[in-house]
Structure 1
């Protein structure tokens, strides 16, 4: 099996211990009470993190598919970083490289070139890929708050875990009949939810370049996968995305559910985002496979 080639002499699984810790900690759900409060906090954090990554890290920071204020830009950055997938500068710099080299030998997470497992999770555990190439994200590299997140990518995630512990404990104190506890919120709302978001995100690199349908001939292996379209809040319409990557809307057909896009429309109505980029009308039929 081929592996991504790097000039770094210090290659190693530097990020494997944090990932192992996050996954192993999910076992804590067997030692706390479940029920609707646990599943509610799990679902809430899952949706918030998937949206922050899909709409924030991906569509905004990587592709600039809409505009927003500096304040809301930081909110998206902070919320996305709390999902423990590092920061928006690191995330966008690697994703932009992926689009420049999609499924070629230089693509850092191509299943065709490096194998399914590498594309899914192996690449994020490499020491040389932990660095951020700021030259690829010059449009955001001048913001000191984003640079701070780049230097401290795990601080927001740790803070979130502590806040969930405190919030769950306070709810238990105020409403003991709810059956809520701080550790319940930590294990369901942080560890289990974060691990689930990990794999939904990773599936776009692996599954969405292996399984599904190709509406457009994009010259790579990107595919539309309806299951990921639902679970990843629109990201599963990946062949559409590779056809027109700067578009905020990835579900091109009425039945291609894209919750991130719909939420962006609500935020536009509120006034938090604007200039949402749509696909050209001719693109909806141009280049379609028969």
Structure 2
């Protein structure tokens, strides 16, 4: 997939394709952050069954395996954060393993179904998770057809709407596992090495406030202060106004006021 990205040098280019790349990245990053992470892993808000399915489908277009696999492993991460049992701890396993090596390892192809029983109860989610390749494959077909419709050719559409933003999505997501445990500030003295990082928060729609999140993982909002950019939360608030999302969980009143910056 990474090598295929060099194909961008040999296909049609225009600035509309760059805009399409940015849109593809942003919408699917929302699927990862609002879906895989804040909903399926932490249940920080509630959805009806149809929007739940659509959010799982959107998240899986990121090609980061199935929704049950992702959420189960993430729950394990919080249960064992930065211990030997944490699959992607840079403290325990080194930076590159925590960034990408763990997801490529055959040791983590399965998942613990016991800690994802809540969402395993839905047959449509079991189907999606088992056949997780369907979602990115369909997006790839759509990207190819969009390229043809835009008049730039199917390969250019595939490259700029699917391949390039998918690789960027991977590394954007993976930086939270790796960089956000080695680079940044610590507002809270948690038992792990989590950090807050404004740059990564910008690139991942708010996920970079990782120390905040580890201090109180139940909150849908990860930016604790008004200036801590968290567009995933803002979008979920708007969906709440439309009554698509409900029961959004937040930090308790006064949370973090007595904490000190490190």
- Note whether the superposition's TM-score is higher than 0.5: yes
2:196 alignment partner in structure 1 = 224
Cα distance in 2 for residues equivalent to 1:146 and 1:48: 20
Give, in whole Å, the separation in 2 of the partners of 1:219 and 1:170: 52
The equivalent residue for 1:18 is none
CA distance in 2: counterparts of 1:147 and 1:52, whole angstroms: 18
Query: How many angstroms does 1:171 deviate by?
Result: 3.1
| 2:99 aligned partner | 120
Deviation, 1:238, is 0.2
List alignment gaps of at least 5 residues for structure 1: 1-21, 173-179
Aligned to 2:180: 208
Report the equivalent of 2:139.
160
State the partner residue of 2:171.
199
Identify the match of residue 60 of structure 1 among 39, 49, 52.
39
Determine which of 6, 25, 38 is the counterpart of 1:46. Answer: 25
1:23 aligns with 2:24: no
- Worse overlay, 121-130 or 208-217: 121-130
Counterpart in the other structure of 2:126: 147
Counterpart-to-counterpart distance in 2, 1:170 and 1:213: 46
Equivalent residue number for residue 283 of structure 1: 255
- The answer as to 2:110 corresponding to 1:138 is no
Please give the root-mean-square deviation of Cα atoms over the aligned residues, in Å: 1.1
Distance 2:7 2:51 in 1: 34
**Alignment match, 1:256:** 228
Question: How does the TM-score come out when normalised to structure 2?
Answer: 0.97
TM-score (norm 1): 0.88
Structure 1 residue 289: deviation in Å?
4.1
CA offsets 1:102-136 (integer angstroms, 9 cap, x no match): 11111111000110011000100111201122111
What's the CA shift for 1:250?
0.3
Work out the CA distance in 1 between the residues paired with 2:93 and 2:107.
16
CA contact (8 A) 1:217 1:289 kept: no
What is the CA–CA distance in structure 2 between the aligned matches of 1:243 and 1:258, rounded to whole Å? 16
Q: 1:271 aligns with which of 231, 234, 243?
A: 243
Q: Extract unaligned runs of 5+ from structure 2.
A: none
Hey, what's the Cα distance between the residues in 1 that align with 2:9 and 2:241? 42
